[in-house]
Amino acid sequence: MRNMTANSYGFDTLAIHAGSDPDPRTGAVVPPIYQTSTYAQDAVGAPRLGYEYSRSANPTRDALQECLAAIEGGRRGLAFASGLAAEDTLLRAVCRPGDHVVIPGDAYGGTYRLFAKVLENWGLDWTAVPLDDLDQVRAAFRPGVTRMIWVETPTNPLLNIADIPALAGLAHEYDAMLVVDNTFASPYLQQPLALGADVVVHSTTKYLGGHSDVVGGALVTATDDLGDQIAFFQNAMGGVNGPFDAWLTLRGIKTLGVRMDRHCDNAERIVRYLTEHPAVASVLYPGLDTHPGHEVAAKQMQRFGGMVSFRAAGGPEQAIAVCNRTKLFVLAESLGGIESLIEHPGQMTHLSAAGSPLEVPADLVRLSVGIESVDDLLADLEQALGGD
């Protein structure tokens, strides 16, 4: 098998070829879907090529995992049934009851729910702080108890930016680890492991899959030892994705680079439009030079992504009305697909954070900008914001 690493090939080459050697039996250029639960063994204690049961290992999932590691510049990739399955496995693998984690003050609602409603009952403590304020992060640390800093950058849905190298330095100063959820940026736009992170998290449902047809999650580790540790829990806890889901995700990754270029192009046009619209009070996008995290984002991202949020000048009622009036922007949760989506985070993806310190503004609208003809998207926003 070819040695495909970020040092030897460009990103798009890795996305297309890593983990995807032609099938040695037939020459098929696309990895087969090994839709099997178990494998014939050559003798007792001698599984063929190490495969014995598909929870433990499956060739299609292995192909995806190899590709994930290559495009993130990591040592080990691990694929899961969902992003939250990946998060839960990671936290139980490296933390113990009584440990403490620092999380973003505006973390994704599902991540907040995992910490507050599931792992807190297991004995894992957590503190939410604005990660763009290093003094507050340091103040939240409990030396010898804090096990990790959990980072989203950009965050969901407020699109705040965290300084990955600075937070890595702070975490490692206290013998903790830095975990970065790279879902919004994708590895095409941001490489957290190269910036000092220990683990990268993805909901592969989003930009990596890219077509709104598969649910999955992933972890990529900076070291083999950490990868091996998590792999044990991946098998023991069993939250793996099936071979067809792995195949769909691997297929999606092959076009990630070209899709992200269009997502970014379209988002930048839409941001320029929204900043000048009287029905929009403010636009949240790290590509704007007025964004408080713009300079940090410009240093650690190639471009600024396809996610855009804005606050409606007419308040929560207008925000909901705009969501209900779009025709091309589909009113739906999730993000990162080729089609454009719109949602009201307060009542949709972040409802689980309602009433908590992580509650999002009620006048907030989130856009996942797709790859359609941008003039059509602009026309749709014009009629939705104008109320025609």
Active site amino acids: 55, 108, 181, 206
Check residue 50 and report its DSSP letter.
G
Task: Give the CA count within 13 Å in the CB-facing half-sphere of 71.
Answer: 36
The answer for residues whose C-beta is within 8 angstroms of residue 322's C-beta and 6 or more apart is 279, 312, 342, 365, 384, 385
User: SS3 of 308, please?
Assistant: strand
Which CA distances in Å does 63 have to 21, 33, 247?
9, 10, 8
Task: List the beta bridge partners of residue 342.
Answer: 331, 367
Separation between Cα atoms, residue 341 and residue 343, nearest integer Å? 7
Q: Under a CB-based contact definition with an 8 Å cutoff, are residues 151 and 181 in contact?
A: yes
The answer for residues whose C-beta is within 8 angstroms of residue 272's C-beta and 6 or more apart is none
Which is it for strands 364-368 and 341-343: parallel, antiparallel or unpaired?
Answer: antiparallel
Residue by residue, DSSP assigns 118-162 as: IIHHHT-EEEEE-TT-HHHHHHH--TTTEEEEEEESS-TTT----
H or E stretch at 219: strand 217-221
Residue by residue, DSSP assigns 59-117 as: HHHHHHHHHHHHHHT-SEEEEESSHHHHHHHHHHHH--TT-EEEEETT--HHHHHIIII
Look up residue 14 and give its two tokens. 């890795």
Q: Under a CB-based contact definition with an 8 Å cutoff, are residues 146 and 279 in contact?
A: no
